[in-house]
Amino acid sequence: MNVTHKEAFSLLQNTDNILILTHRNPDGDAVGSMFGLFYALKEMGKNVRCIIDTVSDALSFPVTEEAFIEFEPDTVVTVDVADKKLLTEDTLEKYGDRVFLAIDHHEANKPFSEHLLLDYKASAACEVLFDMLTAAGRDISRECATALYLGISTDTGCFRYPNTSAHTLYAASVLVEKGVDNGEINRIVFETKSRAYVQFEALAMSSLRTYFDGKCAVIVLTQDMFRRTGVSEADTHGIAALPRQIEGVLAGIVVKEKKDGTYKISVRTNEPISAAEICEVFGGGGHRLAAGCDMAGRPQQVVNDILKVVGEALENI
């Protein structure tokens, strides 16, 4: 059942022993919304724990060890999870059917919880949390604000994407007022690359091919590229943005070979192409301009299959 920001807050207020989960391959919004909520609940005197996958160095958020001590929760909450299939394998198995409250901002959200706080106009799950805490009249601490800022900043590409609304900027402004070191966060997240990463990026760019008169660009990442550079997969979220940066590209695709030999596809589009619609064909989903799906098969077949759908989308504009 859908709940308002205020209702979601009182649901949390009336529970304890809360476990927070987020999606696998955590991005900045997953990390930020998890720890933003962690701090907010802790400050309310709640017993709170988190379970999260490996996080890339740039997004590693200083949080007390206590957050990860195992316990038997009474209440399970998810943040930034559009579909329970996106939980990690372990948490899906253990908690997938007993999520009390899901807090999300994905238009393609597939409800799976008892209660759902969904605001797909929000740029980030962190913006939804900001609104929830504000609606409840809670003061936001510096720790909580820093986590929420991280999520908003990353999901808006540092306030550059069209999902950055006036309200997003207002939320960021309030968070900065609470003491967030925004310059430092953005320097680490957006302006810093390891040397290994730069090598990886060069390999990625050398795989780039364009199709449909340059309207579609595809990068293929192989396990070999990870091995050769020593870059971890968690550190390569940024690659997804590269193909769409080329002038004239309406659909930028990154095909990443996973360890098990299947592929994770990231699609970034410009209007009027919908990334979510392309990914839905393959059982995935996401936002209008940024979405993903999983595929299996031989690499060239995977690329051809996705190109066919992109081609149809381009023909319809």
By CB under 5 A, name the binding residues for Mn ion. Answer: 29, 80, 124-125, 155
Q: 285-286 and 290-295 as β-strands: parallel, antiparallel, unpaired?
A: antiparallel
Residue closer to Mn ion, measured from CB, 148 or 253 = 148
Query: For strand 251-257 and strand 285-286, is the pairing parallel, antiparallel, or unpaired?
Result: unpaired
Would you say 99 and 74 are in contact if contact means Cβ atoms under 8 Å apart?
A: no
- Shortest CB 80 distance to Mn ion, Å: 4
Q: Which is nearer to Mn ion, 113 or 229 (CB)?
A: 113
Which C-beta is closer to Mn ion: that of 153 or that of 229?
153
CA angle 267, 32, 250 (to 5 degrees): 15
Cβ at position 124, least distance to Mn ion in Å: 5
Structure tokens at 315: 């023909």
Q: Nearest CA to 252 among 269, 236, 238?
A: 269
Q: Which is nearer to Mn ion, 148 or 219 (CB)?
A: 148
- 80 or 257: CB nearest Mn ion: 80
Candidates 89, 76, 113; CA nearest to 23 is 89
In three-state secondary structure terms, 44 is coil
Handedness of CA 201, 106, 251, 303 (dihedral sign): positive
Closest CA to 117 of 77, 86, 157: 77
- Least distance in Å: CB of 125 to Mn ion? 5
Measured CA to CA, the distance from residue 24 to residue 147 in angstroms comes to 18
Min dist. Cβ of residue 151 to Mn ion (A): 7
- Shortest distance, CB of residue 137 to Mn ion, whole angstroms? 25
- C-beta nearest to Mn ion: residue: 29
Smallest distance from Mn ion to CB 237, Å: 12
Name the residue nearer to Mn ion (CB basis): 82 or 220.
82
Q: How far is the CB of 171 from Mn ion (least distance, A)?
A: 14
Q: Which of 249/285 has CB closer to Mn ion?
A: 285
Q: Identity (one letter) of the amino acid at 47? A: N
Distance CA 55, CA 57 (A): 6
Q: How far apart, in Å, do the first and last CA atoms of the chain sit?
A: 36
